[in-house]
Each structure stands twice: as C-alpha cells, then as structure tokens.
Amino acid sequence: MTSSNTQRGQIIVLFALVLVGLLAFAGLAIDGAMVYSDRRANQSAADSASMAGGGAGATYMQLHDMNASHDFNCSDLNIIGKKMNLVKHEIIDAVIFRASTNGFTIDTDITDDNGVKVTCTSTDFDKYLDIEVRITSQTNTNFLHLVSNQPLMNTVTATTRIRPTRPSGGGFAIAATDRTDCGQNSGGVYFDGKIDTHLDGGGIYSGTCITINGKGSVAVSNSEPGVFRTGGTPNFIGDDPIKDPSMQLDIDIPEPDCAALTDTHSQKKQSGTISPGVYSNGIDSQGDLTLKPGLYCIDGALKINGQNKLTGYGVSIVMLGSNTVTINGGGEVNLYAPSAAYPAASPAVSGVLFYAEQGDIKLVGNGVGAFAGTIYAPKGEIEVGGTGDVNPTYHTEMIADHVKIHGNAAVNINYDGNNVYLHNPTLDLLR
C-alpha cells in the first residue's frame, strides 16, 4: 500500500513537471509568435517610412529641376538653404510623418535605433541618396519576463536609395557602347584626320578603345566623368583614358510612339514648312526646310545636302528600321530637341533629337548652326565632322554602337545635361 502511494506521488510530481514544461513551451511559442509579429509590423513601418521619404525626395528634385548633372551636390547636403539640404529635410519630414501614422515616434538621431539618416554618394558614374530608417519597439511577453528581467526589444532597419533624374549617357558627351570590336567603322570612338575636338561639360566613354589617327587633338574640360574605356589599346594624345572593365551605362531609351501620329506624308521631296507625322518615303530636301515642333517618324532616308537651310526647334526625329540620316553640305542647320526652351506636345520626346534604333547618323556638313539633344543610334554609327572653317556646334550627347569624328576642321561639343534625354528618378528598397 505504501509502495502504491509512493508511485502515485511520483506520477503526480512527474505530471506537474511535464505540465510546467508544456506551459513553458506554450509560453515560449506564444512569445515567439508575438516577437515575430512585432518584428514584421516594425519592418513594414520602417519600409513604408523609408519609401515615403524616397518618394518625397524624388518628387522635390523633379519639381525643382534637379538631376544628376544639375544641382545634385553632396557637399551641399548639410548647408542650410542649399537645394540638397532642402531635399534632405523634405525626406526627413516625410519619414517622420509616415512613421507616426504607424504608431512610431522617431527623430533625426539614429544612434538610439529610433531615427532617420540621409547620406549622399557621388562618383563619376553614379549619384544617389540613401535613406536609412531604424525603428525599435518592446515586445510584451507572457513567459520570458518570468525568467529574465531584461525587456525584449525589436530593432529593424530599412534603407531606400534614390537615384535622381539622370542623363541616358551617364554624363558622357560621347558614348560608344560596343564591347567587342575596335577600330574605324567597327567599334569604339575613332578620331581621324586633322580635326580638333573640344568637349565641354561631358566626357568620352568607349566599350572598347579610343583612338586618335592623324594630327588632330581631343580636349575634355569641365566634365565630372572624364575619358573612360573598358578595353582595347588606346592611342590617345595626353593622359591615357582610364580603363574600367566593369563599367556599363544605362543607355536604353524607349522608342518614341510613332503609332500615335495620325498624319502620313508620302511625298519624298520636301521644302518649305512641314508638319509632324509619318513620312513613308523618307525626306529629301529640295530647298530650305523648316520643321514645326513635334515628332517626325521617317520610313526611308533623311537627306539634307547642298546649301539648303534646315530649321527645327522642339523636334524629335525617328528613323524607322535601318534607315539613315545624312546631313552634309554648307547650308545652315539648326535642330533642337524638345525642351523647356522649345516645348513640343507628346508624342515628341523631351531631349531626343535623333532616334535611329538600327540605322546610322551622318552629320558632316560645313555650314553654321547647331544641334541640341540626344543623338541615339545604339546599333549603328554616328559620324561627325567637316572640312570647312565654320561648322555647327553640338549641344548634344551622342550614343551609338561606335562613333567616328573626322575631317580637317574643329568640332565643339558643349554638353548640357538639361538638354538631353533624362531617365526618371528611381527608388530601390535595399533593407
């Protein structure tokens, strides 16, 4: 009888111990679920606040005409009254407000793990703002507080990166994207003859080589991205181009919407004043030619030669298929892409002057005048040059498979990042 009572007592003790263990495991499971739930809520709030700050910063920069080539100066981030400082405070205000709507109070001191910090990075090839948000909260537990008097804290971090509006060519006035061939008419950037080329405000990029053949010269001034190549052996006057095999540009430009054009013109020979539309047999100038502002889609060659004058302010010209542009002769040429100074209605594209997806673009006249905007031939060649004492000025960026500049004259390329095609700002949540 005594043995039986003893056994029953032992069973009760074992049962009590098992019950305590089960309750402990249940408590831990509940506490773990609460910790996980709180952490998810914190992370969601941090992500939301960080992205809200990114959206506010990107919007402010767009509304105030700030881009990677204009007013984006990291040195101004903490200088009161500067545009970058104003962007920073727009970001901070948006972050703090969004966090408060989710029940969290944060400030600009991130060291206590409840705050927001804005940092700025600027290199030759990339510019961005990072918005780091940290949120910390205490999880109220059911069991852990019985075994530890330390509060259970949850700290999460979210980082959003803003890349501002930026030129498609990365700030380079000349960008040759082919990464396989090197040489005249095949790849890279090729300077030939006695031509003197001066680039102001934008550098040179080549996916292979940069070559000077002849007695000409090349000078680059006032450009943050200088002269870079990713391969090949340079033959360059002055300092060799910096080699960076890993460098690649974000040059993709969406094709303008030719399908949105309702007017179609079949007459090839043109003179006088013409209107935007589709030119199904190309354009061959037969005299002075003026283009009204808008989008011109040309299914055929565009030829301007002789002493004919060509004028177009606020125009985007698209070459369909593998059709080419040839502008030569001694006539005055003034072609400007749509911009704030020369607006044009959609489907014309701001900053795009020539768009030739598969064709070549040849600008070799000896007349006065100017080109302004992005000249884009990603699978073809851009050829620029002349032999006269007077030649057009290029307020352009040239993006092509390969670029050739030749002749016996001077070519001046004055790059302005506000006049070329600009990619919209981007937001990336890095966590």
Residues 231 and 342 grouped into a single domain? yes
Judgement on whether residues 150 and 267 belong to the same structural domain of the protein: no
Which of the listed residues 164, 180, 204 is the one where a domain comes to its end? 164
Look at residue 394 and tell me if it is in a domain: yes
Domain that holds residue 158: 2-164
Look at residue 405 and tell me whether its pLDDT is greater than 50.
Answer: yes
Task: Please check whether residues 361 and 390 belong to one and the same domain.
Answer: yes
**Domain assignment present for 146:** yes
What's the total number of domains in the chain?
A: 2
Residue 215 has pLDDT above 70, yes or no: yes
Task: Say if 25 falls within a structural domain.
Answer: yes
- Asked, as a colleague might, if the bond just before 347 is cis with ω within 30 of 0, I would say yes
- Which pair of tokens denotes residue 89? 């405070």
Q: Are 419 and 284 in a shared domain? A: yes
Same domain, 83 and 209: no
In a domain, 393, yes or no: yes
Distance, in Å, from the CA atom of 195 to the CA atom of 191, rounded to the nearest integer, reads: 8
Same domain, 151 and 244: no
Do both 184 and 331 map to the same domain?
A: yes
For 238, other C-beta atoms within 10 Å of its C-beta total: 11
Q: What letter represents residue 47's amino acid? A: D
Mean pLDDT of the chain: 85
Q: Do 124 and 262 share a structural domain?
A: no
Helix axes 2-63 and 83-101, enclosed angle (nearest 10): 150
Confidence (pLDDT) at 387: 74
Which positions ≥6 away from 384 have C-beta within 8 Å? 363, 364, 394, 398, 403, 404, 405, 406, 411
Give the pLDDT band of residue 80 (cuts 50, 70, 90): very high
Please check the confidence at residue 142 and state whether its pLDDT lies above 80.
no
- Per-residue confidence band for 356, with pLDDT thresholds at 50, 70 and 90: very high
How far is 7 from 412, CA to CA, in rounded Å?
A: 103
- Three-class SS of residue 12? helix
Q: What angle do CA 130, 131, 135 make, to 5 degrees?
A: 145
pTM: 0.82
Question: Rounded to whole angstroms, how far apart are CA atoms 137 and 156?
Answer: 9
Classify residue 229: in a domain, yes or no: yes
Residues 178 and 107 in one domain: no
Does residue 431 form part of some domain? no
Let me know whether 114 and 248 are in one domain. no
With CA atoms as reference, report the closest residue to 405 among 352, 376, 362: 362
Nearest one of 367, 365, 368, 364 to 405, comparing CA atoms: 364
Report which of residues 26 and 68 the model is more confident about.
68
Q: Are residues 127 and 176 in the same domain?
A: no
192, containing H or E segment: strand 188-193
- Within-domain flag for 176: yes
pLDDT at 293 > cutoff 70: yes
Q: Kindly state whether residue 57 falls inside one of the protein's structural domains.
A: yes
Mean pLDDT value of segment 228-241: 59
- Identify the domain boundary among 127, 144, 164: 164
Please check whether residues 199 and 218 belong to one and the same domain.
yes
Integer CA distances (angstroms), 203 to 200, 232, 242, 418, 421, in order: 8, 18, 12, 15, 16
Q: Single out the residue in 120, 143, 164 at which a domain terminates.
A: 164
Residue 172 pLDDT greater than 60, yes or no: yes
User: Which candidate, 257, 242, 31, places its Cα nearest to that of 125?
Assistant: 242
Please answer whether residues 401 and 376 qualify as being in contact, where contact means their C-beta atoms are separated by less than 8 angstroms.
no
pLDDT (tens digit per residue) in 246-285: 566 778 899 999 999 988 888 888 889 999 999 999 999 8
